[in-house]
Amino acid sequence: MEQKRAEFSEAIAEAIRECHSFGYHPTKWESMNRELTPVGAAKKLVLSGDFQQGLKRLLGESREHLTVEAIMLRPEFSVLFSRELLEMAKWRIVECKKELAKGKTSS
């Protein structure tokens, strides 16, 4: 399990590096990772009631693969999270996309 945690941490670090490469700097997320570990931070993020700006931005720019939720949902990392957390991660992506689509049609 520790190997999977390390692989998840590296996947998160790679996503953060890619975000920096196009000018998005998820400083709050980076801070959470340092405080809680990437697995702990992912759990906390998914359980929060809000769609964070980072999720909105990445989905709005068609960069879903860089979201914490999408990384959690990768088959190789599903063992790190409960079924409920994985369902929440999927729900967050789907619902945030709907919210973004509504915003585009109502403007």
Domain boundaries, the chain: 2-106
Question: Which tokens sit at 54?
Answer: 């980072």
Tens of pLDDT, residues 41-55? 999 999 987 889 999
Average pLDDT, the chain: 94
Contact (CB, 8 A) for 84 and 47: no
CA atoms of 73 and 1, how far apart (whole Å): 16
CA atoms of 79 and 2, how far apart (whole Å): 11
Q: What is the mean pLDDT of residues 64-78?
A: 98
CB within 8 Å of 85: residues ≥ 6 apart? 43, 46, 47, 72
Tens of pLDDT, residues 6-48? 999 999 999 999 999 999 999 999 999 999 999 999 999 999 8
